[in-house]
Structure 1
Amino acid sequence: MTTLDALSREEIAVRLAAPPAERAAFLRQAALLGHAEAQAVFGQMLLDGVGVAADPREAFGWFVKSAAQHHLMALNMVGRCYDLGWGVAIDKARAAECYRVAAARGLVEAIYNHATLLTLGHGVAEDKAAALALFEKADAMGYAKATNYVGSFAEDGWACERDPRRAASCYRRAAEGGDFRGAFNHARMLLIDGNIDEAGTWLRRSLEGGTPQFRAKVSAWLAAHERADVRAWGAAAARAEAC
């Protein structure tokens, strides 16, 4: 029997709850024995450097092996690797194809990723109408990142009529769903309505959850804002983050 087959569900749960290095060793053994889920999870640990030294090239290899066994998240991650150059040369067309296949099989992350490439015209012909349909599908599945994107389409009038109310509603739902970009956009709408106190709450959440690049952009936006009280809030937030 293989490693996972020989263990009870409870024993597997104990192994997966072990410290990162032990968990990685267990998953590597299972991955070597051909378990698609273990290959996908071990690949992610290699990509993130959790429990093992980060190795994007090896992570990509495990994602490919898992995807060959029809593991949808692994296929999505093969797409991410091609999309962003993680362990392999950037190839937007291959990324788009990986996303398309996984999206067609219902993986919400792939639906979102494919829609993003369609929006930008990366690896595929730009098609904002098709992208919006996919974002709306992912939104209906509760994917907060997609909800935020639907809001952006409504705000800017991409492939649809401009609809500020729909945009504001989407941003609120995306923010409440935990998307840091949605939190920022929700805060923008609150500022337009003059609600600086509530806006400050969501701005803080966006800064807490955002990437360093995102935080830098938000800080620059706050510093250049037309309202003095917003600039002052941004300066105070920047000082607090630096402490």
Structure 2
Amino acid sequence: MSYQLRREEAVDVAGLKAMLEHSPGQAAQAILAAAGQGVVEAQLLLGQILLDGRGIEADEAVARRWFGIAAQGGSAMAHNMLGRCLEHGWGGDQDVAQAAIHYARAADVGLDWGLYNLGNLLATGRGVPANQAQALLCYEKAAQMGHAKSMNLYGRYLELGIATAAGPARAVRWYRRSAQAGDFRGMFSLATVLLERGQAAEAEPWLARARKEGNVNFLKSALATLQTGGAPMAAYVQAYAEELQQRVAEETSTA
């Protein structure tokens, strides 16, 4: 039975998000009704649950359309999510140049995720000309807003002196903030610097958390770093290698 939303009924989007936790099917029907009535936040939320298949059958193409509708309604996050769809080819053709346009629209109004995603394209020259100075600016702005992933990347630019004067002490402070905010890459960045300083006791809990919380791609890159990091990092290679092997086996078994 479809959910009927009275036109005079106020839409509590926060309540709909909470409903997803215990009644995802009912929540999806309510979200669909609100989206159909033009509630921009509900349109954005509908796109997300269609991507995730949460309470409703997953459909990347329809999700992409709803993100586009919400973006037209002025949602910065919808611009960001439409950019994600375009960047990765979710629900349609891949178009990284168009993704950059939507990330920039989100970044222009100060959305941290828009800044982060635009920074990634600028850093790699995907969809836009590579521009490390602009990438640094994006990461710095998002980091100052508390965006954990950007904190780590801003720290990396400071550590390596990319498009700015090297500032190792400042880099460590940003790595620490990223780690404390829950980013596993920030945890690993902090831990490797601590190991190089001979502070293994402080580094080890961060290494363990990063190993458990990181995804397969992270584990691959982290393992390569540990393998080439010399004596301070050699003791942790086996644990990361075993974790990677286990994760790959799990992904293969569920594929």
1:131 aligns with 2:135: yes
* Cα shift readout 1:161-197 (whole Å, capped 9, x = no counterpart): 1222222221111111111111110011011011222
1:67 maps to 71
Alignment of 1:36-185 (within 5 A): 36-185=40-189
Name the CA shift for 1:83/1:8 in 2 (closer, same or farther; >3 Å). Answer: closer
Given residue 83 of structure 1, which amino acid in structure 2 is its aligned partner? E
TM (normalized to structure 1)?
A: 0.88
Given residue 99 of structure 2, which amino acid in structure 1 is its aligned partner? A
Structure 1 segments unaligned to the other structure (5+ residues): none
Displacement of 1:60 in angstroms is 0.5
Given residue 186 of structure 1, which amino acid in structure 2 is its aligned partner? L
Structure 2 segments unaligned to the other structure (5+ residues): 248-255
Q: Is the 8 A contact 1:196 1:230 kept in 2?
A: no
Alignment of 1:199-238 (within 5 A): 199-223=203-227, 225-227=229-231, 230-236=233-239
Q: Is the 8 A contact 1:4 1:12 kept in 2?
A: no
Name the CA shift for 1:65/1:220 in 2 (closer, same or farther; >3 Å). Answer: same
Q: Is the 8 A contact 1:82 1:91 kept in 2?
A: yes
RMSD of aligned Cα (Å): 2.6
Q: Is the 8 A contact 2:192 2:233 kept in 1?
A: no
* Cα shift readout 1:108-167 (whole Å, capped 9, x = no counterpart): 110111122111111112111122122111111111111111111112211111222222
Displacement of 1:22 in angstroms is 2.0
Name the CA shift for 1:34/1:148 in 2 (closer, same or farther; >3 Å). Answer: same
Q: Is the 8 A contact 1:3 1:29 kept in 2?
A: no
Given residue 81 of structure 2, which amino acid in structure 1 is its aligned partner? M
Name the CA shift for 1:52/1:167 in 2 (closer, same or farther; >3 Å). Answer: same
User: In structure 1, how many angstroms separate the alpha carbons of the residues matched to 2:13 and 2:122?
Assistant: 43
- SS where residue 106 of structure 2 aligns? helix
2:253 maps to none
* Cα shift readout 1:200-234 (whole Å, capped 9, x = no counterpart): 2111221232222212332344355422x744434
Paired-residue identity, %: 38
* Aligned counterpart for 2:9 among listed residues 3, 6, 9: 6
Q: Is the 8 A contact 1:121 1:127 kept in 2?
A: yes
Aligned residues: 242
* Cα shift readout 1:7-40 (whole Å, capped 9, x = no counterpart): 5759945745542222222212222222211111
Name the CA shift for 1:20/1:215 in 2 (closer, same or farther; >3 Å). Answer: farther
Name the CA shift for 1:240/1:29 in 2 (closer, same or farther; >3 Å). Answer: same
User: In structure 1, how many angstroms separate the alpha carbons of the residues matched to 2:8 and 2:216?
Assistant: 42
Displacement of 1:3 in angstroms is 4.4
Given residue 166 of structure 1, which amino acid in structure 2 is its aligned partner? R
Q: Is the 8 A contact 1:223 1:235 kept in 2?
A: no
Name the CA shift for 1:3/1:126 in 2 (closer, same or farther; >3 Å). Answer: farther
TM (normalized to structure 2)?
A: 0.85
User: In structure 1, how many angstroms separate the alpha carbons of the residues matched to 2:132 and 2:109?
Assistant: 21
Displacement of 1:85 in angstroms is 1.3
